[in-house]
Amino acid sequence: MKWEYYVVHLNVDDSSSKNEDASNPQAASEKLKGSLSPGFLKDQFPEQYQENEGSEHPAIQLSKFLNKKGLERWEISETVKIGKMLFLIMKRQVEK
């Protein structure tokens, strides 16, 4: 059996984040030192980065994201906390 993996980083330390940056993919990309482009962030998290967004609670946003990934056959295999970072490790079986 072969698996492929998808890793999601959840920002649980909001002490340095500004509320207005929460729906700005450019600001998020800069905070990540360019490791993820603004386009990638908008594509992978469309609910987070659509205009006039920000009124939904983060739990609802995460639920929508996980439901979307579930429809794509991804499942959470584990969570890992490294320092102040929380990662969701998702996996799905590779079709032969």
Task: Output the pLDDT for position 15.
Answer: 58
How far from 72 is each of 6, 32, 92, 94, CA to CA, in Å? Answer: 11, 26, 9, 12
pLDDT, greater one: 2 or 61:
2
Task: Output the pLDDT for position 35.
Answer: 82
**pLDDT tens readout for residues 36-94:** 888 888 888 877 776 654 567 888 888 999 999 999 999 999 999 988 889 999 999 99
What's the predicted TM-score (pTM) here? 0.56
* In the chain, domain spans: 3-93
Instruction: Determine the Cα–Cα distance for residues 69 and 65; give it in Å rounded to an integer.
Output: 6
pLDDT, greater one: 95 or 92:
92
